Structure 1
Amino acid sequence: MTAPSSDARYSRDELVEALGIDPEYGEKIWTAFGFARQHSDAKLFSDADVAAFRLFARGAAQVDEAAQIATARTIGQSLARLADWQADQLTEFDQNPDVTWSINDMAKALNRIQQLVWRLHLEIALEGSRSSHTDHADWNTVIGFVDVVGYTSLSRQIDHHELNDLITAFEDRISAVVTRYDGQVIKTLGDGILFANPDPASSALTALDIADLSDQPPIPRLRIGLAHGEVLARLGDVFGEPVNIAARLCGSARPGKILIDENLADAIEDDDRVRLRSIPPLSVRGYRRLRAHALSRPKP
């Protein structure tokens, strides 16, 4: 574990006192960030940290407590997952005799890079929110689901190294395709990826390129579902009927194939870069007669 900053002067309780917030509320936020409910006198926070938290606390005063807790939980869960992965990587580097830097030096460098990457992503997201959607607002977009066919069975047949290679290649290559068409990966789900793209044609081309990756080692067979409509964008995630429909279509698609809903089919029916084929209505959970189309490339 890296040492606290040399200018750290405040413990967690002293931070709460300096902010002038209710200790019980401070405990809820601390827990939502993912830290244990335990008393500690360790000096963790500097004057700069207090100033940042004070600005956050003033802004939070304009938002109801449930939303504040949800925000803290989202930040905590995202960073905890990232930190776990980074800790494994730093430990591996530290055990490598060819690496001469200490874990503390590597952590400092990683912190600097991480802040830079985050700032750039934030600027892109802020620019996008001005021209398209904002959090807690309806967003007209295409939602895509991609998952690995037979993942549970497959994961039992291969060792952890092979599984790691599979997941890494799956996430890297799918993410590259999504960003190539100016889409956004919303989240990864182990054996699945949820993405969004507000442009119907671009989302269809994304799906076609992803389908080309199916059964191309180390990536196993994939299936894809797309649905177009209004979703709720909240805390970096999306909710609504298009999300549910895309998931159902993905689950109903055959290996290497793409199913799309009627809304998306209507939006791209005149695009000569794609081929649509109607299929019989699907009976899936929540939808007794879900109308869908198979998406593919035009025949030569």
Structure 2
Amino acid sequence: MNESLTETELAERAGVTPGFVRRLGDLGIIVPVEGGEDYPASDARRVRVAQACDRAGLPLDGIGKAVAEGRLSFAFLEASQYEWAGFSGKTYRQVCDELGLSMGLVRGIHQALGWAPPDEGDIVREDDLELLPALGISVAAGIAEDTVIRTTRVYGESLRRIAQAEAQVFRTSIEEPLLRSGMSQPEMMQAASAFGAQYMALFDPAFLRIYHRQQEHVWIDDFVRQAEDTLDDMGIHERLTHPPAMCFLDLTGYTRLTEEHGDETAADLSASLASLVQRVSQHHGGSPVKYLGDGVMFFFKEPGAAVVSALEMVEEAPAEGLPPAHVGLHAGPVVQQDGDYYGRTVNVAARIAGRAGPDEVLVSEEVAQLSSGSSGVRFEDLGPVELKNVSRPIRLLRASRVSGTPAPDQPT
């Protein structure tokens, strides 16, 4: 039997006032169960969506009119993927006392995730009751609160991008074509939600599998570093001590192209760029760190592999329908934090990229020296060069393939 809630219970579940629920009932946006005054528990979702519309400045009486005329419907919220968490009966102060957490940490976590920071007397959402204990064991294990917050920010930003990308694909590939086919908004949402329920039933566990596979890769890499340290200490294996390389790739004329051809062209170029750089950089042991609109920042453990990868990306860009690319590389110590890299090495690499011309790969003297064993690559010394916001001149070299040397994986 489906659960039903009183007006007050529904308000508590949705995190609104009973007066707001009463108003939605008067407008016909929510309807009591047949023959009674209570509401279906699933109406908590309708209430929260209606509240979002109200906060966005949409007139609730207008929404009620659209619902009455069949031009707008909340019925799609019955689908399983919309079973959002409700509100518990506990305040944040109560939960913090139970778990030994500070309100400062809880507020910082909410801000890091992009949510409004709660006050002590606010009612805790049911999904927070699952999140907050994880914070508790992290702090108890000795992880500093600011570190927990920084790491959570990485989770929040990454997951928000995933949710936004999904919504964009769903809107342009499912919703808009259904509307163009002649469906009304209620019909479209019912059809789209039916697909969404099937998709999420399969994708939720697949999403965790992808995450765990990423963990597998990173954790194995961490163990290899530990093993290398141990063998180095025992004198069994001598660890390579050269620094890593940071690489910046930019597209020439990207801004002009997007201004002339519009946002869709920009999106297509970004997708092509992401496909190219991920495939090529990973093949050479590198990893894209972040995408910068018209460019990408990479990390490479091996400077020599970074140069070969850069040349290959520049060579392949035109075949991918991309504008000419140019690359700058520098090697040196870096600071890794929250999935990103910082320090002078990063800044110098970015400045070198800014000096490179179309189809050009420029490297610092450090990169060239560490790439001496890279076959098929030669360097042309350009001498010391003044770079913006770099205190001293940097000796730059232009990297290119030795004449007649094929790119990797090409037939000889």
| Cα distance in structure 1, aligned partners of 2:369 and 2:89 | 59
Change (3 A) 1:265 1:41: same
Q: Does 2:126 align with 1:44?
A: yes
Q: Which moved more, 1:208-217 or 1:119-128?
A: 208-217
- Within 5 A, what are the aligned runs for 1:28-107? 28-37=108-117, 41=123, 43-45=125-127, 49=131, 51-59=133-141, 62-95=142-175, 101-107=194-200
Determine if contact 1:10/1:46 at 8 Å carries over to the other structure. Answer: no
Which digits, 9 at most, give the CA deviation of each residue in 1:106-141, with x for residues without a partner?
2343322221111111111111123349xxxx9931
- 1:178 offset after TM fit, Å? 0.6
- Within 5 A, what are the aligned runs for 1:1-40? 2-4=82-84, 13=92, 15-37=95-117
The answer for the alignment partner of 1:121 in structure 2 is 214
Unpaired runs of at least 5, structure 2: 1-80, 179-190, 227-240, 405-412
| Cα distance in structure 1, aligned partners of 2:340 and 2:117 | 27
Three-state SS of the structure 2 residue aligned to 1:296 is: strand
Residue 283 (structure 1) aligned to one of 386, 390, 399: 386
| Cα distance in structure 1, aligned partners of 2:242 and 2:97 | 40
Three-state SS of the structure 1 residue aligned to 2:305 is: helix
Change (3 A) 1:15 1:34: farther
Identity of aligned residues (%): 22
Higher relative contact order (CA 8 A, sep 6+): 1
Normalised to the residue count of structure 2, the TM-score between the two structures is 0.64
Determine if contact 1:146/1:194 at 8 Å carries over to the other structure. Answer: yes
Q: Which has the higher helix share?
A: 2
The answer for the alignment partner of 2:323 in structure 1 is 220
The answer for the alignment partner of 1:173 in structure 2 is 276
Which digits, 9 at most, give the CA deviation of each residue in 1:143-175, with x for residues without a partner?
111011132222211122211111100111111
Q: Which moved more, 1:240-249 or 1:9-18?
A: 9-18
Residue 302 (structure 2) aligned to one of 179, 199, 210: 199
Alignment-mate amino acid for residue 380 of structure 2: R
Change (3 A) 1:47 1:139: farther
Alignment-mate amino acid for residue 205 of structure 1: V
| Cα distance in structure 2, aligned partners of 1:225 and 1:32 | 32
Q: How many residues align?
A: 293
| Cα distance in structure 1, aligned partners of 2:349 and 2:192 | 45
Q: Does 2:223 align with 1:130?
A: yes
Normalised to the residue count of structure 1, the TM-score between the two structures is 0.86
The answer for the alignment partner of 1:253 in structure 2 is 356
- 1:225 offset after TM fit, Å? 0.8
Q: Which has more radius of gyration?
A: 2
Determine if contact 1:259/1:293 at 8 Å carries over to the other structure. Answer: yes
Q: Which moved more, 1:9-18 or 1:107-116?
A: 9-18
Three-state SS of the structure 2 residue aligned to 1:281 is: strand
Determine if contact 1:178/1:184 at 8 Å carries over to the other structure. Answer: yes
Alignment-mate amino acid for residue 118 of structure 1: Y
Determine if contact 1:18/1:50 at 8 Å carries over to the other structure. Answer: no
The answer for the alignment partner of 1:157 in structure 2 is 260
